[in-house]
Amino acid sequence: MKIPFLGIAKGAKRKRNDFILGSAEPNFVAWASIRRGLLIRVRDEAHRFAIAFQRSKRKIK
C-alpha cells in the first residue's frame, strides 16, 4: 500500500518552509505545489492550537 505523505519543516533561521514529499508522483507534487499556502496555514494553526492547549494545561487554577 502506498500512501503519499508531506512534511513541512522550518528552514534556516525559521524564515523558510521546506516541504518534504514522500512521493515523487507528478500528480502529488502538483497537488502540494498548488496548495502550498493552505498547507502552511494549516500547520501554523495546528501549532498555535497545540501551544494554547499546553499553556491551558499548565495554568494554575
Cell numbers 533561521: residue: 13
- Domain contains 10: yes
- Domain contains 14: yes
DSSP 10: E
SS3 percent helix, strand, coil of the chain, rounded to 5, is 55, 15, 25
Number of structural domains (the chain) is: 1
| Structural domain boundaries, residue 17 | 6-58
pLDDT above 70: residue 61: no
Residue 17 parent element (H or E)? strand 17-21
- Domain contains 1: no
Summarize the confidence of residues 39-55 as an average pLDDT. 93
Q: How confident is the model at residue 49 (pLDDT cuts 50, 70, 90)?
A: very high
Average pLDDT in the chain? 88
For the chain, the maximum distance between any two Cα atoms, rounded to a whole number of angstroms, is 52
C-alpha cell, 21: 514529499
pLDDT above 90: residue 48: yes
pTM: 0.76
- Domain contains 42: yes
- Domain contains 29: yes
For residue 16, the model assigns a pLDDT of 85
- Domain contains 31: yes
